[in-house]
Structure 1
Amino acid sequence: MENSGKVSLRRQSSFSRQPVLAVPMVGFARCKKIVCIGVFFAAGVLCGHIFTLLANRSGMSSAHTEHEQPAAKRAALIAEAEKRGAEEALLSRKKDMSLQFRDYQPRHIFINCGGTFPKSVDLFIDTYPSSHKFVIFSFIPDATYAPLYSMHPSHTLVSPAACDSANGSTRMELKSVTGESRQRSVPTVDIGQWIKDNTHTDEHIVLKIDASVDVEKSIAKRLAETSAIEWVNKFYTATKDQGVVDFYHKEFQKRGEEVMTWDEVNGTYGDYKGINPTRNPPSGNSIVKECGNAKLKQYPLFLYAAETTPALNRTLTLLKTLSESRSRRLPVALFLPTSFIKTYRLLLESLFSNMDGGLYINQTVPLTGKEEEDDVIFSPIRNQVVAAENRFSSVGLILQNVLAGKAVQSPVVEKLVRERHYNVFVKVLEIQQNQNDGASPLKIPTITDYEAPVLDISRPGTEASVLFLLNRYEKDILPLTECLKYVHSAG
């Protein structure tokens, strides 16, 4: 065994090798199996009899279900099943829609029907509250004006297209940008159906229509017939025809809808004053001609921008850097033009957290002395300040102070103070600098009264001038808030 390398193990004995015990054990297992089968069979027979008895008593056997159940009861069960099926299908569709629109947010929409130049879009963006939240759709018959609309954000132009009461085409006389008139076939859009196909009932829709008398009447009737007017939150018409306005009122007042006018020429609309109220209290506003403390020789320093330029951006960056390095607000007052405020709305909060200030305005067209003509001249100035107000408000600020350029006439200033309740600064001393070399010494004017020195920071090289003024005179600069306290206390 040792030579083979194998080990022999002793095998264990099994039951087959024990004949005396094998027979009794096998017989016992067979008996137990027979007994179990009999018990299961008897239990099955008994359960079958019990189930048949219960089914007969309750009327739920197949014979009762198909033949003996009353017809009305069967119809009710069928209707209930169909209802459940319809509800399940509806829930399924709602579930699909909730998945499809789980990120959907209702939009604010301005629909501009008709016109040539984008005056209506400009007026809406400049003066309508929260206009930056709106998406805009314009339907313009003449496509030659299309490039003028491309510069507007969140805007979709459909052109050539004319709003109408039906889809199709119409012949129109178009006057292009060059002034040339011509007859053209223009596709028409059923604006009522377009609204229902492209918007939702929970969206806020502002609709403006500018079309011929007959077309506007047909649109009004179509909007009412299709119930599309119920989707519109606010409706404007540019027509001056009183018959059309009366027709609108007749059709829309049935549903409690209000009709207002839209006036591109004068830059206004029916509820302009209602939705653009002044945010300043009527008390505490004034025309400020004197601001400073002559005894202590402290005067404000106004930095203003006549326009938006690269030089302005550089100076604003410098002011922010200086404020951060000093860890405090700068004593200077900053006045920015509407063009900058509209373009860089999101910068306002950071800029005016570092210094006081407001809006700079100027006047390009002099007043004539005729009330109607002067209202037209005043309208663009008013729209500038309202646009600035709305941009300030959108970032949690209130426009209170306005610096008026030398060309702004007294009636305009008085109207701004009376209607919008601003503090308007009108008497200032211009600080002169060499525009070819911003590092040259500034020509500081001699202050004879309480006039405020001002510096136009939209000119080249002014960042060096601002740095010089702050390093040289910072302790003598009177903050705007302190200046206003002094002016108001003086009456």
Structure 2
Amino acid sequence: MEENTSSSIKRSVSFSRRMSMIGGPNMSGKWNRIIFIVIVISLGFICGNFVYKLVLGKLRGVNIKHFKRHNIHDPPESRPGLSIKKDLSIQFSDYLPRNIFITTGNWYRQRESIKLFLQTYPDAAMYHLYSFLEDDSHKPFFVAFDKINIVQSKILSDANETISKHISRFGSESIRKNLSSIDFGAWLIDTFHQDDYVIVRMESENETAIARRLGKIGALDWIDKYYTTSSENDTLSVYHEVFRKMNIPLFIWNDDENTYSDFDELNGHKGPPRPTNIILDCGYYENFLFVMYVPLVSKQAIYAVEVLKAFSGPRFLQTSLFLSRNFIVNQRDLTESLVHSINIGLYMVNKTNVGSTYAYHQMRNELVEVSKVLQQFETNPVEIQYVNTIGFEKESESKLCNERVVDIFKEFLNIDYLLPQFIQDNSIKVENITRKHGQIFALDLTAENSEMMMIYILKKYGGRMVGINTC
């Protein structure tokens, strides 16, 4: 037994010496230290995730300042990359951050805010929409939006509880109903990832309590931009108090004026302001400006524009075509096919009787939306330069000229009333039309047989027409 033990020890020593000769002195000690470090890191990683999950609920009840993963106003595509992960299960996976727009409050104002967002906010089509509705009778007005998520029969609050409230039901009398409130801050943390780009439009009876709760549980780290609809000084002072601690700016969403406070920052002007350029006449003596306009989308209008496209061919016509927002948005391919042949303008009609500020923002928002569409044309991106306005106040028109750098045309002489006589005689004499000096001729392409008069005038009087850019 002793011999075996001695022999075993000698073999062990011999092996150790051989390792020392091969790997150098203290080689086995280095490997031991490396293995020990790897084990400690792995155990720490696993234990850290376990502790995080265990105390997550408690963390929401104390004031915790989370690491902010990017600057507040950075658009999603400019971020340096992913940082914090909420769960170990996605720590090593490729998480694709989403763009989120959350709106709350009165159902009608929510719907209008979504429309405004989709109409004017940069890359709005890429956003997932979230809406809080207190009653399901309003749901049909939201389901038509793409990427819409409805949080139904919930009241926003700073805690989860049951609240009795009078609910307005569309098409029915209001009723008192018990609704579950939802802790908005906790909902944000549970629903979204910290690398999601989250925009909030907040309208609530409990705004101040919600604001304090967001700061208390660290939920502000889940929010990138925050709009309040409140103009109350007490509410705004609470926001400034809470948000200043996290260095988060506060923005205003103004439903009454159909705008938001950083609109111009996000939808910059085309150039420096300039003097008003509202054009009532163009052309002198025998020369004149002839334009066509499409106030709405119809089979007749589409057919007439197709005829115009076929007639123009590779030529650039000395005329202009004013298209409505609906036509440009819904007939993008047809509109794009015309940009090499004719000057494209925007036709706008005032559809509201509210104040001039709202009317101006309606004009501006529509112009911004259409400009975004035209800028996406693959063959030839277009800038809107010419606008035909109907029914707007001069103050709004002047402001649009100054701030958006466009030329406004108005008070056309519509000649579609001559269509019956033209169809009968197959001719028309422009010189016999009574008009003011330099008044602009205009033809409504939604009128039946308007395409025939259009081609006739372009062929017979093309040499006498002036370009819209000379006005």
User: Could you tell me the TM-score, scaled by structure 2's length?
Assistant: 0.75
SS in 1 for 2:347: strand
By how many angstroms is 1:461 displaced? Answer: 3.3
Question: Which residue in 2 is equivalent to 1:156?
Answer: 149
Aligned with 1:322 (options 308, 311, 315): 311
By how many angstroms is 1:448 displaced? Answer: 4.7
Aligned with 1:134 (options 113, 127, 132): 127
User: Which stretch shows the higher mean deviation, 466-475 or 395-404?
Assistant: 466-475
Partners of 2:200 and 2:301 in 1: CA distance: 38
Q: Are residues 1:228 and 2:188 paired?
A: no
Q: Are residues 1:241 and 2:227 paired?
A: no
Question: Which residue in 1 is equivalent to 2:196?
Answer: 203
RMSD over aligned CA atoms reads 3.7
CA deviation vs aligned residue, 1:327-382 (integer Å, no higher than 9, x gap): 23333211112233344456544332332122112234568xxxxx4324444333
- Are the equivalent residues in 2 in contact too, given 1:434–1:442 (CA < 8 A)? no
- Are the equivalent residues in 1 in contact too, given 2:287–2:464 (CA < 8 A)? yes
Partners of 1:439 and 1:96 in 2: CA distance: 74
Classify 1:308/1:467 alpha carbon distance in 2 versus 1 (closer, same or farther; 3 Å). same
Partners of 2:309 and 2:90 in 1: CA distance: 48
CA deviation vs aligned residue, 1:359-406 (integer Å, no higher than 9, x gap): 112234568xxxxx432444433333333334334444322211122x
Give the letter aligned to residue 357 of structure 2.
Answer: D
Question: Which residue in 2 is equivalent to 1:361?
Answer: 348
CA deviation vs aligned residue, 1:300-338 (integer Å, no higher than 9, x gap): 321112222232222222233333xx2233332111122
Question: Which residue in 1 is equivalent to 2:255?
Answer: 264
Partners of 2:10 and 2:310 in 1: CA distance: 94
SS in 1 for 2:326: helix
Question: Which residue in 2 is equivalent to 1:401?
Answer: 386
User: Which stretch shows the higher mean deviation, 162-171 or 331-340?
Assistant: 162-171
Question: Which residue in 2 is equivalent to 1:187?
Answer: 180
Question: Which residue in 2 is equivalent to 1:336?
Answer: 323
By how many angstroms is 1:216 displaced? Answer: 1.4
Aligned with 1:454 (options 425, 442, 445): 442
User: Which stretch shows the higher mean deviation, 412-421 or 385-394?
Assistant: 385-394
Identity %, equivalent residues: 22
Q: Are residues 1:410 and 2:401 paired?
A: no
Structure 1, unpaired ranges of 5+ = 1-47, 61-68, 368-372
- Are the equivalent residues in 2 in contact too, given 1:357–1:480 (CA < 8 A)? no
Partners of 1:436 and 1:226 in 2: CA distance: 72
By how many angstroms is 1:114 displaced? Answer: 1.8
Q: Are residues 1:82 and 2:39 paired?
A: yes
- Are the equivalent residues in 2 in contact too, given 1:289–1:427 (CA < 8 A)? yes
CA deviation vs aligned residue, 1:266-304 (integer Å, no higher than 9, x gap): 21222223323321443486111232254xx33332111
Partners of 2:337 and 2:91 in 1: CA distance: 39
By how many angstroms is 1:193 displaced? Answer: 2.9
Structure 2, unpaired ranges of 5+ = 1-7, 21-27, 50-84
Classify 1:479/1:219 alpha carbon distance in 2 versus 1 (closer, same or farther; 3 Å). same
- Residues 280-299 of structure 1 aligned to structure 2 (within 5 Å): 280-283=271-274, 286-292=277-283, 294=285, 297-299=286-288
By how many angstroms is 1:170 displaced? Answer: 2.4
- Are the equivalent residues in 1 in contact too, given 2:324–2:346 (CA < 8 A)? yes
Question: Which residue in 2 is equivalent to 1:432?
Answer: 416
Give the letter aligned to residue 310 of structure 2.
Answer: T
Q: Are residues 1:383 and 2:365 paired?
A: yes
Aligned with 1:114 (options 105, 108, 117): 105
Give the letter aligned to residue 451 of structure 2.
Answer: E
Give the letter aligned to residue 150 of structure 1.
Answer: V
CA deviation vs aligned residue, 1:219-258 (integer Å, no higher than 9, x gap): 2122223322122221011123221211111111111111
Classify 1:167/1:76 alpha carbon distance in 2 versus 1 (closer, same or farther; 3 Å). farther
Classify 1:319/1:375 alpha carbon distance in 2 versus 1 (closer, same or farther; 3 Å). same
- Are the equivalent residues in 1 in contact too, given 2:103–2:202 (CA < 8 A)? yes
Partners of 2:249 and 2:187 in 1: CA distance: 21
Give the letter aligned to residue 294 of structure 2.
Answer: A
User: Could you tell me the TM-score, scaled by structure 1's length?
Assistant: 0.72
Q: Are residues 1:310 and 2:295 paired?
A: no
- Are the equivalent residues in 1 in contact too, given 2:345–2:386 (CA < 8 A)? yes
- Are the equivalent residues in 1 in contact too, given 2:120–2:365 (CA < 8 A)? yes
Question: Which residue in 2 is equivalent to 1:55?
Answer: 15
SS in 2 for 1:408: coil
Partners of 1:301 and 1:199 in 2: CA distance: 55
- Are the equivalent residues in 2 in contact too, given 1:280–1:422 (CA < 8 A)? no
Classify 1:185/1:53 alpha carbon distance in 2 versus 1 (closer, same or farther; 3 Å). closer
Partners of 2:137 and 2:201 in 1: CA distance: 21
CA deviation vs aligned residue, 1:167-211 (integer Å, no higher than 9, x gap): 444222222223732211223333323333333333322101111
SS in 1 for 2:97: coil
SS in 1 for 2:167: strand
